[in-house]
Structure 1
Amino acid sequence: MTVQADAAGWSYWPAPAKLNLFLQITGRRADGYHLLQTVFRLLDWGDRIGLRLREDGQIHRDGPSVAGVAEADDLVVRAAIALRNVSNCAKGVDIRVEKRIPAGGGFGGGSSDAATVLVALNALWGTGLDEDALAAIGMGLGADVPVFVRGRSAWAEGVGELLTPIELPEAWYLLVDPGVHVPTAELFRSQHLTRDAKPVKIADFASGTVLGNAFEPVLRRQEPAIEATFQALSGIGRARLTGSGSGCFVEFATRVAAEQALAELPEQLRAWVAAGVDRSPLLDALETTGIV
């Protein structure tokens, strides 16, 4: 993917989605944050972020809000402000978000959008921060932001910030959005959530013995639309939940198999196919600019 500014000064950058191939909660820190283990799998599909540089130091979101989020609260705006503050940059930017990733689905849309702003603006503004510095800024915005900043599928621990890059077999995913959104804080309060799972190793995941998601039984019990989606997917493969959202997926070895399964689903389900990648398309786009 080549990134070049158009006649109006906009350059466009990928913000890939992710899947949690498993997710378990192993405890809680003294500050209340839950400890987890998961595998983040990046996808070749996601949102697109438009950036247009300004010389007046102003940071603005261009276009309508996403899911009614005020401009000052939008993660992409907060990411740009955080980068400007850390780097003491005097430049500004207009930010445009082209959404494809459904909000609340657990596909990481908001976090990925913020990470793309951090990574791309760091290059465009010439602020010169390294990956660790950008990931630290990202952690202040959300626990999932660092994996998108680093741009590699990864084994994750802690609250999601302790990342070990991992190479995964080629796979295609049938993704389904049931269209419901349950706040994460509400899920963490559920009496049905397992918070003390025994820690596992990467080898346990690689062997296929660990594939569950701690939030699945909670959401299936609480949301009929999610339970109905799992039932619809049960005839084509092993359905799984991603993150703490409502998004569901089934893994396939080939694109053909995933698309055949897609064709078998009821038409009313919002579903599509995406490929897993070990390296973010954002990093590929960054390399084409010639400014890194």
Structure 2
Amino acid sequence: MPSTIPLGEALVLPAPAKLNRMLHIIRRRPDGYHELQTLFQFLDVGDTLTLRAREDGEIRLLPHLPGVEPEDNLIVRAARLLQAESDCRLGADIHLDKRLPLGGGLGGGSSDAATTLLGLDTIWGIGLSLERLAELGLTLGADVPVFVHGRSAWAEGIGERLTPVALDTPWFVVIHPGVTVSTSAVFKAPQLTRHTPPITMARALQGGAASWSNDCEPTVRTLYPEVAHALDWLASRAAAMLTGTGACVFGRLGSEAQAEQLLVEVPEGWQAFKACGLNRSPLHVALGRCPSPPKATRHP
């Protein structure tokens, strides 16, 4: 399939953030991974990638992220993976405008990888299916497939078994208290809840946001007092929760005006932004390639 993007012309794409509206840990598997049940939802805020095809096969990423070697970056790994899968001899210049904090639980690295896969599939004219791109993405990280498929989803397994859902789309205030949370440290912590009884998707959706919780939150509170402080501050003003393994916390607001007012009150030293929840990824809107999904289960 020939590319519709001329060689060297820029394709600018979003790499949206996600929230875990709920997160339960069901069990620890013999291989060390944890079985989860979670609800993924996208935000209208995220990173931005600018991609240009190259004739020489090189993958160049700028700027370099502090502490991350270019070849270890998920963007570069995703590009190399797609080259190997498709036997494509083209390369790419990729510029990353990084807005999402590292280690924040917003899925920034996974979203960047998914945008790279879909973006390069477009400018290289490969034409892989979303299903195949998601399979490739899973080898990079458990959260990559949800960004590839581009729909809010109920997820099970390690987060890769996805069922599209339609969630409420409120405004949120997201706060990063200035610390980087280690996902590995959280999942290795002896006090982490690992045996929450599994529930059905229907029951989770029927219970609604008021019943949702994150099993990682007590452990992150203990290991990272700064996150506990942010959660306590936000919970006094809105329904607050940790996303993923942190460090970002989010509060659910009834309107954009309420979110803007809350932002004014956020203490200095914390990074904070407002965002609207979305059920369709801005990446898919930008590419115009979102397929017709299975019938969504609507939140009552």
Same fold (TM over 0.5): yes
State the TM bucket, normalised to the shorter chain: over 0.9
Is the partner of 1:35 in helix, strand or coil? strand
Greater shift in the superposed pair: 108-117 or 251-260: 251-260
Match of 1:133 in 2: 132
- What does the per-residue CA deviation read over 1:106-164, in whole Å, with 9 as the maximum and x for residues that have no partner? 00000000000001111111111100100000000000000000011111000000001
Cα deviation, residue 251, structure 1 = 0.9
Counterpart residue identity of residue 247, structure 1: C
List gaps (5 residues or longer) in structure 2: 290-300
Q: Sort the Cα spacing of 1:104 and 1:60 in 2 relative to 1 into closer, same or farther, 3 A.
A: same
**Paired residues of 2:183 and 2:245 also in contact (CA < 8 A):** yes
Shift of residue 36, structure 1, vs aligned partner: 0.2
Deviations 1:254-273 (A, max 9, x none): 21122222223323322110
Whole-Å separation in 1 of the counterparts to 2:223 and 2:269: 21
SS for the counterpart of 1:166 is strand
**Paired position in structure 1 for 2:292:** none
Q: Could you tell me how far apart the structure 2 residues matched to 1:7 and 1:225 are?
A: 47
Residues 57 and 98 (structure 1), Cα distance of their counterparts in 2 relative to 1, 3 Å cut: same
- Whether 1:190 and 2:224 are equivalent positions in the alignment is no
SS at match of 1:94: strand
Which range is displaced more, 201-210 or 90-99? 201-210
1:92 matched to which residue of 2?
Answer: 91
Aligned residue for 2:17, secondary structure, equals strand
1:71 is the counterpart of 2:70: yes
> Match for residue 243 of structure 2?
242
Name the count of aligned residue pairs. 284
Give the Cα–Cα distance (whole angstroms) in 1 for the partners of residues 58 and 265 of structure 2.
Answer: 49
Check the 8 A contact 1:24/1:214 in 2, yes or no: yes
Q: In structure 1, how many angstroms separate the alpha carbons of the residues matched to 2:244 and 2:270?
A: 20
Shift of 1:234: 2.3
- How far residue 24 of structure 1 moved from its aligned partner, in angstroms, is 1.0
Question: d(CA) in 2 for partners of 1:34 and 1:123?
Answer: 34
Question: Where in structure 1 are there 5+ consecutive unaligned residues?
Answer: none
Aligned equivalents of 1:59, 1:265: Cα separation in 2? 40
Give the deviation of 1:183 after TM superposition. 1.6
CA contact (8 A) 2:172 2:275 kept: yes
Partner of 2:82: 83
Match of 2:34 in 1: 34
* Same amino acid, percent of matched pairs: 46
1:284 deviates by 1.0
Partner SS, residue 245 of structure 2:
coil
> Is this contact kept in 1: 2:178–2:270, CA < 8 A?
no
C-alpha contact (below 8 Å) 1:11/1:51 kept by paired residues: yes
* In 2: Cα distance, 1:142 partner to 1:93 partner: 22
TM-score norm. by structure 2 comes to 0.90
Deviant stretches of 4+, over 3 Å: 4-9
**C-alpha deviations, 1:75-98, integer Å up to 9, x for none?**
000000001101111111011110
- TM-score (normalizing by structure 1): 0.93
Shift of 1:202: 2.1
CA contact (8 A) 1:204 1:210 kept: no
Indicate yes or no: 2:269 matched with 1:281.
Answer: no
SS, match of residue 180 in structure 1: coil
- Partners of 2:48 and 2:17 in 1: CA distance: 11
Deviates more, 1:234-243 or 1:115-124: 234-243
